[in-house]
Amino acid sequence: MTTIIGRNGGAMDVRSDGAATTHQVEEDEVFSWTSVTANIDANDTVILVTNDSTTKHLHITSMYVYSDVPSAIDFFTPAFAAFTGTAITGIALNRTDVNIAPATALGDSSGDTLANIFAKLFTNETATDQFAVQLDLDGLLILGYHDSAAIAIVEASAVANSVIMGYYHDNHARS
């Protein structure tokens, strides 16, 4: 079976006989992780989110970061390790349901290696005109069990903040 994921999070499964079925993202499976404002050393990870679910993939929809200094911003997927940092609680965006995200999220984390950089963006700043950077992924970054997504700021930053948003979806066998 092949699964085609759409921009809105919906998916269509196409079986080997050509028949197709569709399904949508469950509204209670959408989360946001926000780091507390922190003083970040050069090349430090501002935020890291690891999927702890063995039955669902975590689809990252957007990653946002603010830094008070001009800097390159690295968006990366570090190998799983014993990460440390300030714990971040995932917030369910469906406020009518009380779900806890099956994820480990850390701010100002350490123990990760800056590897598998999939995007490098630059803040467009001057000393008096700071701009945040947002990377829209539309759920295309897919994290399996113990896969992580992270953001690092290359230059030291006295004030940094970040957000990662995503949704969980059942694992699908691909053929």
d(CA 139, CA 62): 8
Asked if residue 162 is part of any domain, the answer here is yes
Instruction: Check which CATH number belongs to the domain holding 96 and give it.
Output: 2.60.120
**Is residue 95 assigned to a domain?**
yes
Strands annotated E in 35-156? 38-40, 44-51, 56-67, 72-76, 84-88, 91-92, 103-110, 117-122, 133-143, 148-153
- On whether the CB atoms of residues 169 and 22 are closer than 8 A, the answer is no
Is residue 73 in some structural domain? yes
Structural domain that includes position 82: 26-170
- Mean pLDDT check: name the lowest of 29-33, 100-104, 129-133, 155-159: 129-133
**Is 175 within the bounds of a domain?**
no
10's tokens: 């919906």
Model confidence pLDDT, tens digit, residues 113-148: 888 999 999 887 666 566 788 999 999 999 999 999
Residue 21 belongs to some domain of the structure: no
- pTM reported for the whole predicted model: 0.80
* Domain membership flag for residue 115: yes
Residue 126 inside a domain? The answer is: yes
What's the rounded Cα separation, in Å, for the pair 110 and 83? 6
Q: What is the mean pLDDT of residues 56-79?
A: 93
- The predicted-structure confidence for 16-33, as pLDDT tens digits, reads as follows 666 555 445 555 589 999
Yes or no: say if 65 and 160 are a contact pair by the CB < 8 Å rule: yes
